[in-house]
Amino acid sequence: MATWTWFHRFGSPPWVYGFARRWTPWIGGAAGLSMLVALYGGLVLAPDDYQQKDAFRMVYVHAPTAWLSMMVYTTMAVAAAVGLIWRMKVAHAAAAACAPVGAWFTVAALGTGMLWGKPMWGAYWVWDPRLTAELVLLFLYFGYMGLRAGIEDQAKADKASAVLAVVGVVNIPIIKYSVEWWNSLHQTPTVMKMGKPAMDTAMLWPLLLMFLAFALYFAAVLLIRLRAELLRRERNASWIREVLT
């Protein structure tokens, strides 16, 4: 029963709007705080990696952005599926709010990956399976946003892009697998594999905290964007009048 009342609340725009407004400062504050602590831990407290020296510190920005770019897509697809199956408008609004955030983080993951690649591989771009998958993910985001922009009717755009998001999320594991397969065929002589150095605790905790910080940050930004989407979509003005005055 309890889950059902929650489900119904999340279907109601005024309730979600109020919830978002109440919680954004707390979640955002927690995100900011943990980000600062994790930065200090990662840049100052953590010792050098014995192979990569200080270059390994880029893991504290590359790994969270890369992880977030995937997680945002998954969140978007789940929201889209909920919107399609239960015809829930709030879920469609949430999916719409996810896309630009995810695309930006994909760009950040690609950029930081390239900057990390230069000292490690000797080139800004190497067709590494993870970077390549990240690039394809960026194209998936572009397609999603392009489809949304291409359909004028809001309800229609919601549903069509939701189908695309679900198809995309089914495809992502296949894409990752195919890219790894492809990479194994053409082994490029890389100086060093990125990621997964044997980490001691002083290196690990800032990373884990950074993951948490980015997840909280995403939640806060999503709630802000969700409010904007709800205001734009809602036709029944009575609650909007209430929240705006």
Partner 1 sequence: MKTGTLEVARLVMARDLRLAFRKPSQLLQPLMFFMIVATLFPLTLTPEMSRLRDAAPGVLWVGALLSSLLALEFLFRDDAQDGTLEQFALSGQSLTWMLFAKTCTHWLLTGLPLALSAPVAAVGLGVPASAMWSVVASLALGGFALSLVGAISAGLTLGARRGGVLLSLLTLPLAVPILVFGADATQRAITGDAIAPPMYLLGAIAVLGVTLAPLAAAAAVRIGLE
Partner 2 sequence: MNEFFSMSGYGAYVWPAFALGFGVVIVNLVMALNSLSSAKQEARRRLQMNAPGNGP
Partner 3 sequence: MLNVAGLHLWRGDRHVLRGVSFSASAGQCVLLTGKNGAGKTTLLRAIAGLLDPEEGQVSWRGAPAREARGDFHSDLAYLGHEAPLKGDLSGHENLRFLVGIRRAVTRAEVDAALARTGARTFSDRAVRLLSAGQRRRVALAGVLLSGASLWLLDEPTTNLDVDGQQLVSSLIDEQVSRGGIVVAAVHHPLSLTSGGLVSLELGAT
Chain contacts with partner 1 (rule: CB under 8 A): 84, 136-137, 139-140, 142-143, 146-147, 150-153, 155-156, 159-160, 163-164, 166-168, 170-171, 174-175, 177-179, 181-182, 185
By C-beta, is 153 or 187 nearer to partner 3? 153
Among 29, 54, 155, 202, binds partner 2 (CB under 8 A): 54
Q: 94: which residues sit within 8 A by CB, 6+ positions away?
A: 75, 79, 83, 222, 226, 229
| Least spacing, CB of residue 224 vs partner 2, in Å | 4
By C-beta, is 3 or 152 nearer to partner 3? 152
Among 186, 196, 235, 241, binds partner 3 (CB under 8 A): 235
How far apart, in whole angstroms, are the C-alpha atoms of residue 82 and residue 225? 18
> With binding defined as CB under 8 A, does residue 44 bind partner 2?
yes
> With binding defined as CB under 8 A, does residue 227 bind partner 2?
yes
Residues 142-171 that bind partner 3 (CB under 8 A): 152-155
Instruction: List, as one string, the DSSP characters of 140-183.
Output: HHHHHHHHHHH--SHHHHHHHHHHHHHHHHHHHHHHHHHHHHHH
Residue 231 touches which member of partner 3, partner 2, partner 1, none, C-beta under 5-8 Å by kind? partner 2
Q: Are 197 and 56 in contact (CB under 8 A)?
A: yes
Q: Are 108 and 72 in contact (CB under 8 A)?
A: no
Instruction: Produce one character per residue of 206-238: b if its CB has 16 or more CB atoms within 10 Å, e if not.
Output: bbebbbbbbbbbbbbbbbebbbebbeebbeeee
153, burial (CB in 10 Å: exposed 0-12, middle 13-18, buried 19+):
exposed
Chain positions contacting partner 2, by CB under 8 A: 35, 43-44, 48, 53-55, 57-58, 60-62, 64-65, 100-101, 104-105, 107-108, 111-112, 115-116, 118-119, 217, 220-221, 224-225, 227-229, 231-232, 237, 240-241, 244
Chain positions contacting partner 3, by CB under 8 A: 152-155, 235
